[in-house]
Amino acid sequence: MEVKQQLLWSLFALSCIGIGLYPLSFAFSAVRQNGLLATKSQELLMDNTYMIAFYTHISFGGLALLVGWSQFLKSWRNKYLTFHRYLGSFYVTAVFTSSIAGFIISFYSTGGAIGGFGFGTLAVLWFTTNLIALANIKMGKVKEHEKWMIRNYGLTFSAVTLRVYLPLILMSGSDIAQALQIVSFLCWMPNIVVTETYIQSQYGKGSSPMLKST
């Protein structure tokens, strides 16, 4: 692996680990007061449905991000196939759990209907790509499983890209509601383009159904 590729891979892995561990920071009250929950009303913070869904989403989403990047190490997968399968099952379960919870909290988005639609669409795509990837491996279609897991992890990685784009949008002068409306789409749409480009480079043409016109 070239030095440039090594640096990119290291940055990718470290960002996944760093943001994957982020939910642990909610054990500290200062983060709860100044982080994602700071934009919510006290009434909503007293809503058990929202709070359970919120913590379920960030906890299982963080775990999926934390473990998922290692599945891209092909030599490691081949050497430790049994562990890869166990870790993969854990990842799939975490994504299913977090995506359902994410869909629920999208209805409470500070970005209103637009932000809710963006985050809700992300949750549906995240759940669906996970389901398709699981179905393919159950049918023994390993290559298709790999491609759909790449697509799925591209959506998982939106947890990282959101935290890159959101501060930049806020610094441009947008308020938090406007920023969340923008980032609710920006955090995942470019990721789809990147993952489809990568899939085409690795698996050849005809491997990108998410970009095909209907």
pLDDT digits (tens, 9 = 90+) for 152-189: 999 999 988 998 899 999 999 999 999 999 999 999 99
Mean pLDDT, rounded, for 194-212 = 73
Distances (CA, A) of 190 to 5, 149, 157, 185, 196: 20, 17, 11, 9, 10
Residues, the chain, total? 214
> Contact 199/207 with Cβ under 8 angstroms?
yes
Count of structural domains within the chain: 1
DSSP states along 135-161: HHHHTT-HHHHHHHHHHHHHHHTHHHH
53-62, 63-72, 177-186: lowest mean pLDDT where? Answer: 63-72
pLDDT bin (cut points 50, 70, 90) of residue 213 is very low
Q: Which two tokens stand for residue 173?
A: 């002068």
Model-level pTM?
Answer: 0.83
Side-chain-side CA neighbours of 170 within 13 Å: the count stands at: 9
Question: How many Cα atoms within 13 Å fall on the side-chain side of residue 111?
Answer: 20
> Could you tell me if residue 182 is left (phi over 0), alpha (psi between -120 and 50 degrees) or otherwise beta?
alpha
Residue 80 CA to its chain's centroid (Å): 25
Rounded mean pLDDT of 120-145? Answer: 96
pLDDT at 117: 98
- Position with higher pLDDT, 21 vs 209: 21
Expressed as residue numbers, the domain containing 152 is: 3-211
For residue 30, the model assigns a pLDDT of 41
pLDDT digits (tens, 9 = 90+) for 106-129: 999 999 999 999 999 999 999 999
